[in-house]
Structure 1
Amino acid sequence: MSDVVLFELVTATNGKQIGVATLNSEKSLNALSHEMVNLLYPQLLAWQGDENVAAVFLQGSGDKAFCAGGDIVYLYNNLPANNGDKAPQIEQFFTDEYQLDHLIHTFGKPFVVWGNGIVMGGGLGLMAGASHRVVTENTRIAMPEISIGLYPDVGGSYFLNQMPNNCGLFLGLTGASINGSDTKYLNLADHFITHQRKQEILDAIVEINWGDTQVLNQQKLTEVLNNFDSECASTAPLSNVQQHSDLIAETTKANNLNDIVADIKGFEIEDKWFNRAQKSLTHGSAISAHLAYRQLNEGKNLSLAECFKMELGISTKCGEFGEFKEGVRALLIEKDNKPAWKYAGVADVDATLIDWFFESPWSDDEHPLAALGE
């Protein structure tokens, strides 16, 4: 068995070192397993504390995916047999995952994520907080949790709220797929560089005259990546989201979820990208739609750490409630694509149930992520 994460220290020309981490599960499209999380977190902490390590570069093995999401099959296999029972393995997985995501968001050194290929769910959680997020002509990003009875977690309460024109809400409700140009428009990426130039990027990073001042190191790396970005800009795809920004704003302008869902689903247009988003919303979980809508409203006034704490409570409750289990069964286990959702539509969902999802199982002092601070 090979290691699921590969770690390497590359020595720069001036003697500093670059920590390179590679998600090494190409067959699963580098799905983020608990083992990966438990390997990445201590190594990143060590690199952050090592004065000889100037920067970190995180990538996925192969050319198809950076990370296609969390290891949903692992989570399914650890869900309780009976709805309502506690799900300790689920709680631990999400605790460790969010702790890792928060570390990347707050990392004290330049942190590059090479977001080539598929980047979904948990993969976006790894990418969103990096200081230098690179996307390519192959990048395909989505938060498709509405299709499995979950919700856009891994910090989505925070980064979806940073997007313009209600685009975060639209993506959370529809799980719509976005490309590399979309990610730059949505503040999810910093640089567009073609995938074939990755080795050139690594070579250029080695040549940087790294110092001990983090602000200057960040600037030096930005300049290098900006130069490549400028050279590749003409090959970037058109942004679907930017092209549809007025339509997204129009269909999400209502001040309640029922009307927003009705407006998105009911808008008549012959457009492949928008129609696909409508279909995902139509066939998705009504509970998931409520969770996404509520989390973004709650997250507007929360810090990054508070968002992760809120999400851990919701995710733990999702492990106890049967909607998530049913969604994974239908999509990934039995693959009949016929989930038996608890509610037929968003108007049918019991409001007290959504309140329950947002009631934290812990006091502030006992919260598993209490150490994240505020």
Structure 2
Amino acid sequence: MADDNADTLLLEEIPLGDGKRLGRATLNAPKALNSLSLDMIRRLTPQLRDWDADPDVVCILLEGAGEKAFCAGGDIVRIYHGMRAMAGEGDGDADYPDAFFTDEYRLDYTIHCLATPTIAWGDGIVMGGGMGILQGASYRVVTENTRMAMPEIGIGLFPDVGATWFLNRMPGRTGLFLGLTGAQINAGDALFCNLADRFLPAESGDDLIERLAAAADWTEPHRVVDGVLRRLAHESGAQPPHSTVRQHLDTINEATDAATLSEIVAAIRALESRDDKWLTRAAKTLDGGCPTTAALVHEQIRRGAHLSLKQCFMRELKMAAQCIRHPDFAEGIRALLIDKDGKPAWRYQSVAEIPEDYIEAHFEAPWDGEHPLADLPAEQP
């Protein structure tokens, strides 16, 4: 994806009743599954702030172009080349990785704090960076096509973009399980796990905009948006798919109920023997995933249970900056997307081998001076 291509982000305003407007932002890189580039992030963030400050913009809509994805994540290939440049190899931009994560988290936090009703149309693939955008919206819509995941276990990163916040707010220990396994979930799962607010048929996207445009009184924008979404859901009669996570909640809680991470990993791996495709796939993904990521997920969720949203993003930036400077993240991208050999050589072969100070280092700032996100505003009460 070309960073300097302005067409990768489409911005428009749609007239509504009462002289108001809807701000519509479309991630427009369908061939790349609408993955985020730094250019897209840096254009979208100030536009959202401008819309939020404009009293005549009473609703914001975030969506992805094409039929396959809302947003499949970030531009990790360019991040990879940036990491290589940081190590003195290749011709990538050594400043890109740090800048990307800093600005991405700033965008995600901005969405969380928008006062203007914000709808995220989570149709298709919603993974990694796409989850960061969707989870900040006031109205998170999913469809029959929705496929969600935080798949960082496969590339040596960790569930970021605010996952410390939203994984800790899921039923039981499902957040830990999904973080460790990168398991994909559907719209029914998303609703059960508090990762979505409303289920609508994918074909109702145009109808949503038409109904918003037809609303005459925008004195209470949230009431209008909520009412339109509720009526659409009721009139469609559509039901979300069966929730596999709900079905396996007891199994998930049992497998993740152990004193040590090694015991949890062993219990999840044992699920591969179950006659269940979803559990088997989850166990296999963990088995082939990055042990350092597993350790980071475990500590991230444990340490982040009582953090504020701002604190979550600030801590995750420390972790991301350290992953940039440690070997597994680059190795995971290499194996998956560069050489595509599917054989990452992780630094440690099991969670039991990882020294405590190695994980602890991932929670320390690699920079001197003030935290790059220290200026984020406090959350609204």
Same-fold status (TM-score > 0.5): yes
1:250 is aligned to 2:254: yes
Q: Name the SS for the 2:17 alignment partner.
A: coil
Structure 2 regions of 5+ residues with no counterpart? Answer: none
Q: Is the 8 A contact 1:192 1:233 kept in 2?
A: no
Residues 210 and 149 from structure 1, CA distance in 2 versus in 1: closer, same or farther, beyond 3 angstroms? farther
Q: Among 326, 333, 354, which residue is 2:331 paired with?
A: 326
Q: Which letter maps to 2:15? A: T
CA distance in 2, matches of 1:245, 1:165: 8
Tell me how far 1:88 sits from its aligned partner.
Answer: 3.4
Listed as ranges, the matches of 1:1-374 within 5 Å are: 3-81=7-85, 88-212=95-219, 216-232=220-236, 234-267=238-271, 268-362=273-367, 366-374=370-378
Residues 340 and 210 from structure 1, CA distance in 2 versus in 1: closer, same or farther, beyond 3 angstroms? farther
Tell me how far 1:361 sits from its aligned partner.
Answer: 2.9
Q: Name the SS for the 1:22 alignment partner.
A: strand
TM-score normalized with structure 1 length: 0.95
Residues 318 and 87 from structure 1, CA distance in 2 versus in 1: closer, same or farther, beyond 3 angstroms? farther
Q: Is the 8 A contact 2:11 2:26 kept in 1?
A: yes
Residues 194 and 227 from structure 1, CA distance in 2 versus in 1: closer, same or farther, beyond 3 angstroms? same
Q: Is the 8 A contact 2:199 2:239 kept in 1?
A: no
Q: Is the 8 A contact 1:173 1:281 kept in 2?
A: yes
Residues 257 and 232 from structure 1, CA distance in 2 versus in 1: closer, same or farther, beyond 3 angstroms? farther
CA distance in 1, matches of 2:103, 2:262: 34
Q: Name the SS for the 1:78 alignment partner.
A: helix
Q: Which letter maps to 2:28? A: N
Q: Is the 8 A contact 2:18 2:218 kept in 1?
A: no
Relative contact order (C-alpha < 8 Å, sep 6+): which is higher? 1
199-208 vs 174-183, greater mean Cα deviation: 199-208
Q: Name the SS for the 1:141 alignment partner.
A: strand
CA distance in 2, matches of 1:65, 1:210: 33
Aligned CA-pair RMSD: 1.7
CA distance in 2, matches of 1:163, 1:232: 27
Q: Name the SS for the 2:83 alignment partner.
A: coil
CA distance in 2, matches of 1:341, 1:209: 58
Q: Which letter maps to 1:294? A: E
CA distance in 2, matches of 1:82, 1:204: 50
Q: Name the SS for the 2:11 alignment partner.
A: strand
What is the identity percentage for the equivalent residue pairs of Structure 1 and Structure 2? 46
CA distance in 1, matches of 2:85, 2:108: 29
Structure 1 regions of 5+ residues with no counterpart? Answer: none
CA distance in 1, matches of 2:137, 2:176: 22
Give the aligned length.
370
Q: Which letter maps to 1:244? A: H
TM-score normalized with structure 2 length: 0.94
Q: Is the 8 A contact 1:83 1:321 kept in 2?
A: no
